[in-house]
Amino acid sequence: MNEIIKSLYNRKSMRVYEEKPIPEEMKEVILEAAAQAPSAGCQQLYTILDITDEKLKEALSETCDHQPFIAKAPMVLVFCADCKKWYDTYLEAGCSPRKPGMGDLMLAVTDTAIAAQNAVVAAESFGIGSCYIGDIMENCEEQRRLLQLPEYVFPAVMLVFGWPTEQQKKRTKPLRFDQKHIVHENTYRSMDGEELRQMFADRCGQKSFEEWTEAFCNRKYDSDFSREMTRSVEEYLKQFL
């Protein structure tokens, strides 16, 4: 197994960091690695916000589901799906472009996520841990105010980076589903109840399938933060409709 594949297998979310800064030259490499990601038509439909203001980091740690470790992270990046800069460019060139729509947003979100993962892989190569923060999609009105987000710009991905503590390094990586449940050949295959139960067998532990799934549903899918994320994203989407 080569070093890149080994890194991908070993990487896990790190949420506790040493009080140690990330050297500026490493940060620049991570940001440049993000920009080297493939993108649709080489448009790079994203803008990366480098959050260096400590008060802003503190505010984001609250608006992103009250997670104090965000404020303590030495590097915080918000990857925005950006449909504005190309639209503005077309207007500047005297074009008569249609307004950005849902397809443009989906393409931009894809570009953004790929760039973010490049940053994660680059950081991992230095021994710098990272954690994705999906909660950046919540609290649309407040995030827009804090980050001064204009129309057609959507905060798709937030990442925090830092030097992980020994405890974090030794923490067991959560299990992934077996490949036979993830990879379908040629066409989508709906799984029946038996296969779904088989897929989750390693995750349920001592609980029954029903007990584990109900607890997870209540904690995640039907949680207040999940409902808020759905409301917030719907609010962002209005500008693209």
In a domain, 154, yes or no: yes
In a domain, 181, yes or no: no
Q: For the chain, 241 residues long, give each residue's pLDDT as a single digit of tens.
A: 899 999 999 999 999 999 999 999 999 999 999 999 999 999 999 999 999 999 999 999 999 999 999 999 999 999 999 999 999 999 999 999 999 999 999 999 999 999 999 999 999 999 999 999 999 999 999 999 999 999 999 999 999 999 999 999 999 999 999 999 999 999 999 999 999 999 999 999 999 999 999 999 999 999 999 999 999 999 999 999 9
| Domain assignment of residue 114, given as a range | 3-172
- Which tokens sit at 164? 């992980």
The CATH number of the domain holding residue 38 is: 3.40.109.10
| Phi, psi at 125, each rounded to 5° | -65, -25
Residues 6+ apart with CB under 8 A from 84: 100, 150, 151, 152, 153
Find, among 125, 8, 3, 17, the residue nearest to 76 by Cα: 17
In a domain, 235, yes or no: no
In a domain, 125, yes or no: yes
Tell me the whole-structure pTM to 2 decimals.
0.96
In a domain, 145, yes or no: yes
